[in-house]
Chains A and B, each alone.
Chain A
Amino acid sequence: DSGVTQTPKHLITATGQRVTLRCSPRSGDLSVYWYQQSLDQGLQFLIQYYNGEERAKGNILERFSAQQFPDLHSELNLSSLELGDSALYFCASSAGLATNEKLFFGSGTQLSVL
């Protein structure tokens, strides 16, 4: 168990809908990262938050947004969903701001857009 908790584990929805994925980092970790894993793209970095503030953006679509709350949990919001958004979404956490340290991953949320 990595200590990172993601909910829900599975999510099935329709095109055009909006969903929220939730992540609780390991106790004491201040950084939260979101990654998308799809069959054709592998693990793609989406966005990083550190202590409530956005710190880095990767290949995140404008239809996607995220935030980190004062209790350090994070949510990833996906809107106007398309079939191609079907993927496994992972949250990872680390202790500090530096990117050259190991990340601890949650078990992921499997999103299926029908």
Chain B
Amino acid sequence: GESVGLHLPTLSVQEGDNSIINCAYSNSASDYFIWYKQESGKGPQFIIDIRSNMDKRQGQRVTVLLNKTVKHLSLQIAATQPGDSAVYFCAEDYGYALNFGKGTSLLVTP
């Protein structure tokens, strides 16, 4: 029979290339956004966050861009490495908890 599961969007990139993972959020009143990385068998791990009064924030090899006009968030990873292979989640503050997107699977190939 047909299997039921969460079919994550998958992004496949070559090692050394830059990766861009996109996320559409739903609540125009959200003032805080955050990206998490989840490796197999582990809990979500914080990558970077951004508040709504900013358009861009940079971390180590990562940049988050926020476009409030179209309610879009992106995560850019520079010089992607095999260790970056994971599922990436964006989350927005709903006022009572963080609400997570479905996630994107990033696969880094040598």
Interface residue ranges, A against B (CB under 8 Å):
2, 4, 33, 35, 38-45, 48, 55-56, 58, 90, 92, 99-108
Contacts and interface: CB of A to CB of B under 8 A. Distances in A.
Interface centre among A55, A90, A99 (most CB of B within 10 A): A99
Interface stretch (B13-21, B59-67, B77-85, B87-95): B87-95
Contact of B100 (A43, A55, A101, A107): A43
A58 B34 CA distance: 19
Nearest to A9: B41
B98 interface: yes
Given A39-B6, A40-B6, A42-B103, A102 B96 contact: no
B5 A48 contact: no
Nearest to B5: A39
A101 B31 CA distance: 11
13 contacts: A2-B45, A35-B100, A43-B89, A48-B96, A58-B96, A99-B93, A99-B95, A99-B97, A100-B93, A105-B43, A105-B44, A107-B41, A108-B43
A27 B103 CA distance: 29
B43 A43 contact: no
Contacts of A103: 46, 98
A101 B94 CA distance: 12
Contact of A42 (B6, B34, B45, B94): B6
B44 A43 contact: yes
Given A90-B44, A102-B34, A42 B96 contact: no
Nearest to A2: B43
Contacts of A43: 44, 89, 100, 103
Given A56-B96, A99-B32, 12 more contacts: A4-B43, A33-B98, A40-B5, A42-B100, A58-B97, A92-B43, A99-B97, A100-B51, A102-B34, A103-B98, A105-B36, A105-B45
Given A43-B44, A105-B45, A99 B96 contact: yes
Nearest 7 Cβ contacts at the A-B interface: A100-B32, A105-B43, A56-B96, A43-B100, A45-B97, A39-B5, A100-B93
